[in-house]
Amino acid sequence: MPTTRFARFALPGELEFNPGPGTLGSLHIRNELASATICLQGAQLTAWRPRSAGNPVIWTSPSAQATAGKSLRGGVPVCWPWFGPHATQSTLPAHGFVRGLPWEVCASGRAADGATEVTLAIGDSEQTRAAWPHAFLLELQVRVGATLEMSLVTRNTGLGTFSVSEALHTYFAIGDIAAARVHGLEEVEFLDKTRAGDRRVEHQPIAFDGEIDRVYCNTSGDCTIEDPVLGRRIRISKTDSRSTVVWNPWDEKSRKMGDLGPGRQGEGGWRDMVCVESGNVGSNEVSVLPGALHRMAVRYSVEAL
């Protein structure tokens, strides 16, 4: 069982290991500020709910399937070292390979303010070098408290420089996609993946009335998701992330995907979620010198509307 070898990182009553979902293994965190779950496959956080929030903030599909090698639908998949389809090899997995591989737990602890901190890591192996010929150590440092903070740290442990694209592909839980608005990307040029990669600019906050799949580059500021149905605003702050991706598949595409679930209103899980992904993709990809590291960080918080 994958969980026994991590037993020394357990914090009694606060951080425990579970064998599920399926056989993937996960760690469950509960403290006076929040609760969270992180799947060992992909270091994929699948739940976070601050005590003050009436509803989960991170969305995971009720139909998410626990399959080895395939990330669960929802939560925070880690996309690395490429984003989207591989540039030249269609047989390689979309969004890179680390989201489908088991990670190790390498540190845990309790912060002075009551938050729980845990670090997961994955390094190169014969399997990763077959897909991407570089030596690396990748860490995800997670801080579960009244806010959720995650840092993705790329270390180049080899002899040559490499470049990575990366994203924390976060699915946020919302009351109804048709009523939600995403603020903070007005006047930023985006690549519209629903229109063959057209480049466009919008002047208003993003409203949703169909599939949206947009890559915004050269944008480092906060985004907020305004949710009048749940009466809250989710704030996304980031450090050393210059790209933001906004995605909702809407009904037709989500039916083809098959794992978005029935949703709260029975209309489809796509109504209950929006992805606002912080990363460095496309022209914002990052070069890492031998022996150097690159850190990208996000911080999520919830405010009443």
Residues that bind ligand BG6 (CB under 6 A): 94-95, 169, 193, 213, 245, 247, 277
Residue 287, both tokens: 């070069």
CB of 117 or CB of 166, closer to ligand BG6: 166
Question: Which spans in the chain are helix H?
Answer: 126-131, 250-257
Minimum Å gap between C-beta 250 and ligand BG6 is 11
Residue 290, both tokens: 């031998």
Residue 305, both tokens: 């509307």
189 is catalytic: no
Q: Which amino acid is at 114?
A: G
Residues facing residue 38 across a β-bridge: 27, 45
Minimum Å gap between C-beta 247 and ligand BG6 is 4
Longest dimension (CA), the chain: 53
Burial label for 256, CB within 10 Å (0-12, 13-18, 19+), is exposed
* Whether 212 contacts 96, CB under 8 Å: no
CB of 94 or CB of 178, closer to ligand BG6: 94
139 is catalytic: no
Minimum Å gap between C-beta 249 and ligand BG6 is 7
What is the 8-class DSSP label of residue 84? Answer: S
Of 117, 139, 166, 277, the active-site residue reads 277
Helix (H, G, I), strand (E, B) or coil at 51: coil
How far is it, in rounded angstroms, from Cα 230 to Cα 219?
27
* Whether 34 contacts 125, CB under 8 Å: no
Minimum Å gap between C-beta 246 and ligand BG6 is 8
Minimum Å gap between C-beta 191 and ligand BG6 is 10
Q: Which amino acid is at 294?
A: H
CB of 68 or CB of 94, closer to ligand BG6: 94
Instruction: Give CA separation, 109 vs 9, 139, 239, in Å.
Output: 8, 16, 23
CB of 208 or CB of 247, closer to ligand BG6: 247
Of 169, 183, 187, 203, the active-site residue reads 169
CB of 117 or CB of 277, closer to ligand BG6: 277
Catalytic residue annotation: 169, 277
